[in-house]
Structure 1
Amino acid sequence: MKLSTYTKEFQYNIRLAWPVILGMLGHTITGIIDNIMVGKLGAAELAAASLGNSMVFIAMSVGIGFSTAITPIVAQYDAEKNTGKVRTVFHHGLFLCTILGVFLFGIVWFAKPLMYLMSQPEEVVTLAAPYIDWVAFSLLPMVIFQGYKQFADGLSLTKYAMYAVIISNVINVIVNYFLIYGIWIFPEMGIIGAALGTVVSRIFMLVYMHYILAKNEQLKIYFTNFSFSEIKKSMLRRITALGLPSSMQMFFEVALFTMAVWLSGYIGKSSQAANQIALSLASMTFMFAMGLSVASMIRVGNQKGLKDYKKLLLVARSIFLLSVIIEIVFALLFVIFHNYLPQFFLDMTDEALLAENAVVIKIAAQLLLVAAVFQISDGIQVVVLGALRGLQDVKIPTILTFISYWIIGFPISLYLGLYTSLGAAGIWIGLLAGLTAAALFLYIRFNYLTKKLISQGA
């Protein structure tokens, strides 16, 4: 098949994906803003925010991963013009996300003592504990918001979540500014101020998303006459059967990156702070692939509903190709600017912190060189995973991601990071190995399934 056959799909892919990308970037930028503003307080505060966020991000990955089950089912029924089924999926999905949000908040809150068992610097743990309390609470509005978002994404209405996240980011910056540094009449709260900024912005995000969807005339049918008597075990089981493996897929990857935070903390606070800087930058570029992954899930889900499997394969491959091109561009930028990007996160004018911060920047620059390479693997694995979710194939991919990240990636990170002179860079080489294995295994799985569908439909 000619290259132009795939590239002509780029325009539609981008039109569908760009609001998702901006929305995803908004989530990441919230963390980056926190890191930049907290980083001005010192390396210990930045490491504490890193440690606290690492625990919350694990729980958030479970919530986001679970909620993705809503999108392909909605996309399939939307293609079939089955309004009743779309409504049912939305209500059941929102119900499950609410329960999950409460559960995840409780898990993180009770898991705080684990920090003391991780050989983390005592100063960092002391700062992180109260920070976690508030950021963990923000999981509740965050996961419920995901229920609304994934429903809208399934209907190809990807702009609403983008607006919600962009406005919430503005609110986060304002609250951070006043509460972290104690501006005007507000108390100086340090990293607790950053946590409160996250809570306020995520509550707003949820309220805004409900309001903007509910007032849409075309969507009013989905927002009327809700009753708990409509909740059926069969639909709860269907969403959970897709959502639980999807949440595990995201959990395995995020937990590997979280383990990188903890291993870096074991080496020292400079490595942990450097890890957080590099991870913030890599996460930002990863959101472009995440946006394309959602586009992949929506378009593959639509084609599954239409039973046009040849078009499904063409659409999916066009998104894979677009992701590779974008991630190569980011990889080059990381290589070119690896010595300069980390400087945005630390105060290089403070003489008292200059020597400490210089060490952090040196380590972060090394990590960005490794990140430049795994951008490509990371982009491939997430868009292929999106396509597999669009096919509603989740069980085998869950096994493949576990093998990739924890049988292949983690042992390499552990050995190279703690038992060689590579240090933090060795930890990230393990991440690269895990992501590359996942990209390869998942693509083989997708290729097998689509060939099987095409041959059966022929």
Structure 2
Amino acid sequence: MNTVQLLPYKQHVVSLLKLGLPIVVGQLGMIILGLADTVMIGHHSTDELAAAAFVNNVFNLAIIFATGFSYGLTPLIGMLQGSGNTQGIGRVFRNALVAHTALALLLTAIMYVVYCFVDQMGQPVELLPHIRPYFILQLVSLVFVMLFNSYRQFAEGLTDTRTPMWILLGGNALNIVGNYLLIYGSFGLPEWGLFGAGVSTLVSRVVMLLVFVVIVAGAPRYRAYREAIRHSRFNRNDFVQLNALGWPIALQMGMETAAFSLSAIMVGWLGSVPLAAHQIMISVSTLGFMIYYGMGAALAVRVSHFMGQRDFPNLQRAVHAGLGIIGVLAVAACLFFYLARVPIVYSFTEDPEVMAVVAVLIYSLIVYQFGDALEITFANALRGTADVKPMMWIAFFAYFVMALPVGYLCGFTFGGGVVGVWVAFPAGLFSAGFLFWLRFRYRLHKLIREEGDV
């Protein structure tokens, strides 16, 4: 095995922060956009707000699945970048555009079938005139979401995390302005309400993709990759590899999301007050998740670069540094959630019954931040090494075999109510995190042994 220079932990930390902070800022921008959408639509019409909530919940799983699939591109780009294979980067990216477009069209077809049965899903009849046009606009935008993710993972794999950040922030600002103009009919434009919000979202997604295409086509930093992309052809091996990496990650993220959605259904059996408290806590928890995942994405890029260089000692150090950073962020999130719990709850509701339930759930939220941090760290470490198939089975065990049954037993069999159902979240996340850690240790030791045999 070639001797390598071990980089100090400080250098790993600085590199991860430089990569990760722009991703975190972009993720936070998406949260702000979601809140702005909710507030602006809610001020126009309660029925439209309910319709938007239904459609967005239906599409969330498709978008998360598509995003997870695109994450399979990052380790391939990162490894090729680490080994200096520019031609390979261009070839893989070109094939990724084909694979991602194919998946987007498949998801669009599936969601169109869902649209055809939307009137049989138990929604109030008065919401259907709002649901249908908004659903179609979301359907049309799926392809643009997927292609934007392709360019984003391509750029992040090359350690260019600032370009996606600025495009996301600009697209979010455009979306908010479009909402103001088209929801309320400002400056003589038509007052379209929820339909206007859908148009604004579609336009912003198209514009973000076009801006990214222009940057990759014209920016000097992408010149070498443009040449490689231009001279590349469809490659069956790359296409198969992208699918082999993309599907397990998509299924892992999809199962995690589905587990949270099924838990919400169980909470709904307990009544409107527990469900309202649950929704508040889930909204708050998204803040921590997005921050951790931003740093996790940076860790996947760093790990993939060291994989390309076959530099396993620094790969291990990068993961340790990433765990330290994400752990510190989890501690900060816990302190924030605890110290700001009263203003957080007041920003959502002043109902004393809901507030009483939230006051208890806040402790489960604090506990599972560490499970979230552990799970995200080692899921992305495995993603960086392209060892993603076991993640799918681990996710199935952690969320469907462990978390959901535990939530049902504690919530209903043992009479714990919503607090009992929430036991599922720490149970699932800690189980997944621990098993991902074990798998990463096995993967790393195997790589080191193989390198030593060369």
Same fold (TM over 0.5): yes
- Determine which of 367, 382, 388 is the counterpart of 1:394: 388
Match for residue 402 of structure 2? 408
Say if 1:229 and 1:298 are closer, same or farther in 2 by CA, change over 3 A. closer
Matches of residues 193-272 of structure 1 in structure 2 within 5 Å?
193-223=196-226, 230-267=233-270, 271-272=274-275
Cα-to-partner distance string for 1:262-308 (whole Å, 9 max, x where unaligned): 44455555555544433232212211111111111111111111111
2:263 matches 1:291: no
| Cα offset, 1:113, TM superposition | 6.4
Q: Distance in 1 between matches of 2:338 and 2:101?
A: 42
Say if 1:200 and 1:262 are closer, same or farther in 2 by CA, change over 3 A. farther
| Cα offset, 1:334, TM superposition | 1.1
Cα-to-partner distance string for 1:390-424 (whole Å, 9 max, x where unaligned): 11101111100111011111223345556676544
Q: Distance in 2 between matches of 1:172 and 1:445?
A: 41
| Cα offset, 1:107, TM superposition | 1.7
Say if 1:37 and 1:269 are closer, same or farther in 2 by CA, change over 3 A. farther
Q: 1:378, 1:435 within 8 Å by CA — same for their partners in 2? A: yes
Say if 1:188 and 1:273 are closer, same or farther in 2 by CA, change over 3 A. farther
2:327 matches 1:333: no
Cα-to-partner distance string for 1:354-401 (whole Å, 9 max, x where unaligned): xxx665555555544432222221122112111101111011111001
Q: 2:183, 2:193 within 8 Å by CA — same for their partners in 1? A: yes
Moved more, 299-308 or 49-58: 49-58
- Determine which of 76, 96, 106 is the counterpart of 2:79: 76
Q: Distance in 1 between matches of 2:117 and 2:369?
A: 31
Q: Which amino acid aligns with 1:29?
A: I
| Cα offset, 1:207, TM superposition | 1.3
Q: 2:179, 2:200 within 8 Å by CA — same for their partners in 1? A: yes
| Cα offset, 1:39, TM superposition | 4.4
Moved more, 428-437 or 60-69: 428-437
Number of residue pairs the alignment of both structures matches: 446
- Structure 1 vs Structure 2: percent identity of aligned residues? 29
Q: 1:339, 1:362 within 8 Å by CA — same for their partners in 2? A: no
Match for residue 365 of structure 2? 371
- Determine which of 436, 440, 443 is the counterpart of 1:446: 440
Moved more, 80-89 or 169-178: 169-178
Q: Which amino acid aligns with 2:31?
A: T
**Secondary structure of residue in 2 paired with 1:133:** helix
Q: Which amino acid aligns with 1:317?
A: H
Q: Distance in 2 between matches of 1:202 and 1:404?
A: 34
Q: Distance in 1 between matches of 2:195 and 2:426?
A: 33
Moved more, 226-235 or 54-63: 226-235
Runs of at least 5 residues in structure 1 that lack an aligned partner in the other structure: 349-356
**Secondary structure of residue in 2 paired with 1:157:** coil
Say if 1:122 and 1:266 are closer, same or farther in 2 by CA, change over 3 A. farther
Q: Distance in 2 between matches of 1:93 and 1:162?
A: 21
Q: 1:181, 1:189 within 8 Å by CA — same for their partners in 2? A: yes
Match for residue 111 of structure 1? 114
Cα-to-partner distance string for 1:322-380 (whole Å, 9 max, x where unaligned): 1011011112211222232244356x7xxxxxxxx665555555544432222221122
Say if 1:332 and 1:130 are closer, same or farther in 2 by CA, change over 3 A. farther
Match for residue 3 of structure 2? none
Say if 1:228 and 1:63 are closer, same or farther in 2 by CA, change over 3 A. farther
Say if 1:359 and 1:214 are closer, same or farther in 2 by CA, change over 3 A. farther
Moved more, 208-217 or 309-318: 208-217
Runs of at least 5 residues in structure 2 that lack an aligned partner in the other structure: 1-6
**Secondary structure of residue in 2 paired with 1:89:** helix
Q: Distance in 2 between matches of 1:129 and 1:363?
A: 35
Q: Distance in 1 between matches of 2:45 and 2:276?
A: 10
Matches of residues 29-68 of structure 1 in structure 2 within 5 Å?
29-40=32-43, 46-68=49-71
Q: 1:134, 1:199 within 8 Å by CA — same for their partners in 2? A: yes
Root-mean-square deviation over aligned CA pairs: 3.0
Q: 2:16, 2:322 within 8 Å by CA — same for their partners in 1? A: yes
Match for residue 381 of structure 1? 375
- Determine which of 317, 320, 338 is the counterpart of 2:320: 317
Q: Which amino acid aligns with 2:402?
A: I
Q: Distance in 2 between matches of 1:265 and 1:171?
A: 36
Q: Distance in 2 between matches of 1:386 and 1:226?
A: 27
Q: 2:252, 2:392 within 8 Å by CA — same for their partners in 1? A: yes
**Secondary structure of residue in 1 paired with 2:342:** coil
| Cα offset, 1:178, TM superposition | 3.0
Say if 1:363 and 1:136 are closer, same or farther in 2 by CA, change over 3 A. farther
Cα-to-partner distance string for 1:20-56 (whole Å, 9 max, x where unaligned): 1112222333222223334446776555433322221
Q: Distance in 1 between matches of 2:226 and 2:267?
A: 47
Say if 1:104 and 1:159 are closer, same or farther in 2 by CA, change over 3 A. same
Q: Distance in 1 between matches of 2:415 and 2:126?
A: 25
| Cα offset, 1:161, TM superposition | 0.5
| Cα offset, 1:426, TM superposition | 3.7
Q: Which amino acid aligns with 2:380?
A: G
Q: Distance in 1 between matches of 2:332 and 2:258?
A: 27
- Determine which of 20, 25, 29 is the counterpart of 1:22: 25
**Secondary structure of residue in 2 paired with 1:231:** coil
Say if 1:266 and 1:103 are closer, same or farther in 2 by CA, change over 3 A. farther
2:439 matches 1:436: no
Q: 1:31, 1:280 within 8 Å by CA — same for their partners in 2? A: no
Say if 1:260 and 1:177 are closer, same or farther in 2 by CA, change over 3 A. farther
Say if 1:115 and 1:277 are closer, same or farther in 2 by CA, change over 3 A. farther
Say if 1:49 and 1:300 are closer, same or farther in 2 by CA, change over 3 A. same
Q: 1:98, 1:140 within 8 Å by CA — same for their partners in 2? A: yes
| Cα offset, 1:217, TM superposition | 1.6
Say if 1:158 and 1:429 are closer, same or farther in 2 by CA, change over 3 A. same
Say if 1:127 and 1:271 are closer, same or farther in 2 by CA, change over 3 A. farther
Q: 1:29, 1:284 within 8 Å by CA — same for their partners in 2? A: no
Q: Which amino acid aligns with 2:444?
A: T
Moved more, 325-334 or 108-117: 108-117
Which TM-score applies when normalising by structure 2? Answer: 0.88
Matches of residues 299-310 of structure 1 in structure 2 within 5 Å?
299-310=302-313
